[in-house]
């Protein structure tokens, strides 16, 4: 079995049947938050400071491959960025895609679209995440972008790259009234829940002191969020409200996107699923199913059943030990390839291994 249906399985199957003969466009949005520089929060880079470069490097590799990116997309242990999964799927499928910059620390050296109000998110334990009014502008800009690209396709894959995003997503969901404590995932098998709690509690305390009464979604994001999730919410709402089908391709961060949309829209969300990986839904240190059921139980959650345990590469097998798990739209992109092209999880795995071989051959030459 290539797919795992977590909830609303009938609705999920109907959605996947609907997209089989449609035009597809993938949209991978990048941004940075200085929350990722807090030691111990994220392992998505050589050092806390270096982590800020990861989103740009991810999409450089996605577009140009290992020979055209500024940084090799692999750790010294051989663990690859999840962009490797996404790139293998895009090469196999030929799906068109675009890169959207919502606030990357550095400009990626690839053709891409930018949101005019893009900015890097600040450390939410120390100060407001964004300048006042930024969240509202980012949402509006992303919503307008969605209305333009809606003309290009019927089905959209929405992925992201932003280290530190599970911490800011925890902050957003909690500030909006959801119980997300201990439920967000991590790129590490040792999910640093206590550290995340410390950061988020400081942010929420500051928010409560500044706004003793309830504040709106945009103020919440400006104060304790980041530039990414509000942009993804604008993109997604702009698409589904114009009749498109959307695969939110990611892990527990996508639940923050659901939370923002649910608070703004005030009704059930339609024409969409969350598409992720088996590693996320099986992760005992997080609870994506619980988050979806609390925030938007009407949205189906589907995972691709990729298994790296029998691959010949130790670097890939690290995924089975709880490293990385998801990112850069990996799970949702693989689900689209399986659904639209009919490739099984094993066939997708073969393409991933082929791509990994190419990366390692280049690494050894260097």
- Spatial contact of 285 and 186, defined as CB atoms under 8 Å apart: yes
| Six-digit token string for 222 | 């400006």
CATH number of the domain enclosing 161: 3.40.50.10210
Which backbone phi and psi does 97 adopt, to 5 degrees? Answer: -155, 160
Full domain range(s) for residue 156:
3-365
Separation in Å, CA 60 to CA 24, 145, 158, 207, 337: 21, 22, 17, 36, 21
**Separation of CA 362 from chain center:** 27
pLDDT at 92 over 90: yes
Confidence of residue 57 (pLDDT cuts 50, 70, 90): very high
Tell if the pTM clears 0.85, that is, is over it. yes
Average pLDDT over residues 87-105: 97
Q: Rounded to whole angstroms, how far apart are CA atoms 127 and 248? A: 29
Average pLDDT over residues 89-117: 97
The per-residue pLDDT for 33 is 98
Q: Rounded to whole angstroms, how far apart are CA atoms 344 and 296? A: 29
Bridge partners, 245 (sequence order): 155
Confidence of residue 365 (pLDDT cuts 50, 70, 90): low
Q: Rounded to whole angstroms, how far apart are CA atoms 65 and 89? A: 13
Separation in Å, CA 277 to CA 54, 58, 82, 297: 21, 18, 11, 19
Confidence of residue 364 (pLDDT cuts 50, 70, 90): confident
pLDDT at 327 over 70: yes
- Counting the structural domains of the chain, the total is 1
Percent of the chain with pLDDT over 90: 91
| Six-digit token string for 305 | 């059943």
Confidence of residue 52 (pLDDT cuts 50, 70, 90): very high
Average pLDDT over residues 300-307: 97
Separation in Å, CA 258 to CA 21, 35, 251, 263: 26, 21, 12, 9
Q: Rounded to whole angstroms, how far apart are CA atoms 163 and 34? A: 9
The per-residue pLDDT for 366 is 62
**Separation of CA 192 from chain center:** 19
| Six-digit token string for 331 | 């799970």
Average pLDDT, the chain: 95
Average pLDDT over residues 209-225: 95
The per-residue pLDDT for 1 is 66
Q: Would you call 253 exposed, middle or buried from its count of C-beta atoms within 10 A (0-12, 13-18, 19+)?
A: buried
Summarised one tens digit per residue, pLDDT across range 21-48 is 999 999 999 999 999 999 999 876 666 6
């Amino acid at each position: 079995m290539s797919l795992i249906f977590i909830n609303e399985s009938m609705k999920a199957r109907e959605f996947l049947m609907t997209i089989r003969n449609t035009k597809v466009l993938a949209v991978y949005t990048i941004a940075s938050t200085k929350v990722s520089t807090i030691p111990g929060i994220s392992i998505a880079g050589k050092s806390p400071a270096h982590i800020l470069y990861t989103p740009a490097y991810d999409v450089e590799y996605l577009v140009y491959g290992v020979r055209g990116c500024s940084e090799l997309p692999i750790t010294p242990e051989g663990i690859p960025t999840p962009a490797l999964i996404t790139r293998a799927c895009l090469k196999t499928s030929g799906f068109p895609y675009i890169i959207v910059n919502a606030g990357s620390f550095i400009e990626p050296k690839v053709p891409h679209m930018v949101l005019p109000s893009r900015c890097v998110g600040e450390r939410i334990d120390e100060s407001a995440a964004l300048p006042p009014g930024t969240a509202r502008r980012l949402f509006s800009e992303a919503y307008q972008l969605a209305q333009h690209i809606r003309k290009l396709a019927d089905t959209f894959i929405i992925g992201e790259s932003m280290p530190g995003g599970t911490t800011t997503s925890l902050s957003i969901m909690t500030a909006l009234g959801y119980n997300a404590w201990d439920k967000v995932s991590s790129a590490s098998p040792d999910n640093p829940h206590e550290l995340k709690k410390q950061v988020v509690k400081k942010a929420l305390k500051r928010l409560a002191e500044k706004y003793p009464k309830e504040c709106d979604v945009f103020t919440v994001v400006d104060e304790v969020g980041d530039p990414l999730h509000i942009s993804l919410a604008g993109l997604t709402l702009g698409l589904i409200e114009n009749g498109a089908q959307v695969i939110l391709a990611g892990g527990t961060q996508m639940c923050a996107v659901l939370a923002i949309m649910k608070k703004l829209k005030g009704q059930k969300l339609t024409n969409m699923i969350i598409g992720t990986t088996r590693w996320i839904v099986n992760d005992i240190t997080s609870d994506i199913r619980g988050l979806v059921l609390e925030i938007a139980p009407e949205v189906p959650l589907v995972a691709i059943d990729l298994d790296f345990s029998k691959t010949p590469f130790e670097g890939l097998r690290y995924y089975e030990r709880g490293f990385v798990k998801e990112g850069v739209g990996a799970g949702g992109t693989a689900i689209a390839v399986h659904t639209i092209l009919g490739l099984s999880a094993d066939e997708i795995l073969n393409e991933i291994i082929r791509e990994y071989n190419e990366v390692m051959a280049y690494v050894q030459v260097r």
